[in-house]
Amino acid sequence: MTTTSTAPRQTVKPPAARRSFVERWLAMIFLAPTLLGMALFTFLPIIGSLVLAFFRWDIISAPQFVGFANFASLAEDPTVRVSFLNTIVFVIVAVILQLGIALGLASMLQARMPSWLRVFLRSTFFFPLVLSAASVSIFMRYMFNEQFGVVNWLLSLIGIPAVPWLTSPVASAAVVVLVYVWQNFGFSFLLFLGALTNIPKELHEAANLDGATGWKQFSNVTLPLISPTVLVASVMAIISALQVFDQPYVLTNGGPGDSTRTAVMVIFESAFQQLEFGEASAIGLVLTVLILAVTALQFRLSRRFVFYQ
Amino acid sequence: MSSQTLHTGTDKHSGSTTGTPTINRRYRNRRLPAAGTVGRFTALAVAAALTLGPVLWTLSTSLRAPSESFNLPPSFLPINPDFTAYQEVFRQINVGLLVLNSALVTGLIALGQMASATLAGYAFARLDFRGKKAIFSLVLATMMVPVQVTIVPVFMLIRGMGLSDTLLALILPAIPTAFGTFLMRQYFLGLPNDFAEAAALDGAGPWRIFRSVYVPLAVPGMAIVGILAFNFHWNEFFRPLILTISEQNFTLPLGLVTLQGNLGTGSISVVLAGVILSMLPALVVFIFGQRTLREGLTAGASK
């Protein structure tokens, strides 16, 4: 640490009032880039979205006030309805799979094993997170190709006939879920791994002495102890799944029909393909309300079910 | 305590004598951990194969000659590599320009986030000002606003600023970071106060305390913010798809999707060679910054 010899020794501490004055100014300067940026690129756009949702506007002609018409047409628009339904089904299935796989693998990794193996497995499960969803979707699209895809080839080895993965409504929805979960389970896995490693060894030993083994030990000792992490992991998984876009856009472009169209895809399409900016804003607001509801639910649930040490 | 142990002892015993297979097996597992362990490691091996398999398949198919990319059985191990597909990628799309765009956008976002998050995080952690809690909550709240909700007005704002179809349109909105600010605040809160007091005794003002004492100590925290920003924005697809129009401003993920579009289903190995090329920087970050990346990703979850 460098000491400043120029500073007069007698004023060791600046008067508190003066110091806080300087600090206040410094704080304002320090916060300026972040707060100005957020004001411009987050808060202003939120207000913009709120206003725009009540207008019909295609950029070219003047915006026209339509009241709640955009919201009303959402409820009637079959594509919008289906896409929200798809999104909700997607969130439920993807999140359950993602959390289940992550928790299962994280607890299996607690078994005794050489440390190189643990490091290898941890890195392996974490690896898909660093890839881009667009490139993952590109190679997965080829893997799931009906005629020459590797998935159907593997299935043919065990005698299962070719599945039209990307051309049947149900199968393509399944592919979108699988590809999404493949890429994202590593995040929940890391959270669970951290939580499980933090459980004191003595607790499991004590439970063992009391005769709790296997599933009993897991449900009565492990699960309550990691419940805060389970809750956080599920909320984060839900919020990110609600915003799914890259995978269905690249894998299926919403099809066949509307079977894999998600809420965000409809926002994108109505704004940037049909130039219905008001409707897009209205869909965005509905999605935001959904996300806020999930977050609010988290706070409620955490008070009732989560066991904090 | 002792009665409990005794009780479970008899439990196990009765279990093994009644011969219920499940209890029996579990009882034996506790003595010879072989069966359960085999199951567990089989599951882990299958999961690892399913995770690495697609990536290995991508790599080895990209190393096939384009004409052989449809051949079955597919390859999982890159034997007899053929680099024609990679040459073809460079011929079909301007890889250099895409990489340059991606690097420029990602690098400037990362630097911008590191700088702005360090400043703001320090203010929230160590400086006194009115309304600190409220402003901090406001900053955190922006994390819950999905990018899709603000994208339409941001798109118009960018047009209004005359930045349509420029790289700046991708960079500027991504610099203010709630998560980075949160991380840096936590980081500064974790640093001891003594240094600041010692420096103040030596006559250092608030700016000097920040600049000479805390910034050097905050470098690891800044690295987390930078690496996270790099990983996220290198892979970003949604915003570039909307905010850039001409191919000369595309980033790598967009370029890849156009590469796929140009070819239709013509040659997989060329598209996959492009995919592998785009993964390389992420792979380097993963290998050298794995710990940092992991800590950064999980930092926000354990508030």
Residue of B nearest to A249 (CA): B238
**Which residue in A42, A87, A191, A244 has the most chain B C-beta atoms within 10 A of its own C-beta, making it the best mutation to test that interface?**
A42
Roughly how many angstroms between the first and final C-alpha of chain B, as a whole number?
A: 37
B4 or A150: which leads in pLDDT = A150
CB contact under 8 A, B153 and A213: no
What residues in A contact B59, CB-CB < 8 Å? none
Instruction: List pLDDT tens digits, range A251-304.
Output: 999 889 899 999 999 999 999 898 889 999 999 999 989 888 888 887 787 776
Closest alpha carbon within chain B to A106: B44
Contact A109, A118 (CB under 8 A): yes
Tally Cβ neighbours within 10 Å of residue A66.
17
pLDDT at residue B33 greater than cutoff 60: no
Of A11, A128, A143, the CB nearest to B57: A143
- How close A232 comes to chain B (CA, Å)? 6
Nearest CA in chain A to B9: A211
pLDDT of residue A210: 80
CA distances from A98 to A135, A171, A186, B146 (A): 20, 18, 8, 21
Interface touch A250/B127, C-beta < 8 Å = no
Pick from B155, B205, B298: which is nearest to A194 by CB? B298
> What letter would DSSP give residue A42?
I
Q: Does residue B29 have a pLDDT over 60?
A: no
pLDDT at residue A221 in the model: 82
Pick among A13, A46, A84, A130 to test the B interface (most B CBs inside 10 A): A130
Q: Which residue has the higher pLDDT, B215 or A201?
A: B215
Model ipTM value: 0.84
The C-alpha atoms of residue A129 and residue B253 are separated, in whole angstroms, by 15
A127 and B26 within 8 Å at the Cβ level: the answer is: no
Q: What is the pTM of this model?
A: 0.86
Q: Which of A3, A14, A250 sits opposite B202 (nearest CB)?
A: A3
Contact flag B149-A284 (C-beta cutoff 8 Å): yes
- Is B297 within 8 Å of B228 (Cβ atoms)? yes
Rounded Cα distance between B222 and B187, Å, is 9
Percent of chain B whose pLDDT exceeds 90: 40
Residue A242's pLDDT is what? 92
Chain A, 36 to 65: residues with Cβ < 8 Å from chain B are 36-38, 40-46, 48-49, 52, 59
pLDDT (tens digit per residue) in B270-292? 889 999 998 998 889 899 888 88
How far is residue A252's CA from residue A269's CA, in Å, rounded to a whole number? 14
| pLDDT higher than 60, residue A13 | no
Q: Single out the residue of A236, A133, A42, A48 nearest to residue B178, CA to CA.
A: A42
For CA atoms B29, B30, B36, B37, the dihedral sign is negative
For residue A55, what are the β-bridge partners?
Answer: A65
CB spacing of A111 vs B297 below 8 angstroms? no
Q: Tokens 């015993």 label which residue?
A: B13
- Using CA atoms in the order B296, B299, B300, B303, what is the torsion angle rounded to 10 degrees? -170
Interchain contact, A1 vs B213, CB within 8 Å: yes
Angstroms from B220 CA to nearest CA on chain A: 18
Q: What are phi and psi of A65, to 5 degrees?
A: -70, 125
Between residues A213 and A244, which one has the greater pLDDT?
A244
Residue pLDDT, tens place only, B195-223: 888 888 888 888 889 999 999 999 999 99
Q: Is B128 in Cβ contact with A139 (below 8 Å)?
A: no
Residue A101 in this model has a pLDDT that exceeds 70 = yes
- Any chain B CB within 8 A of the CB of A177? no
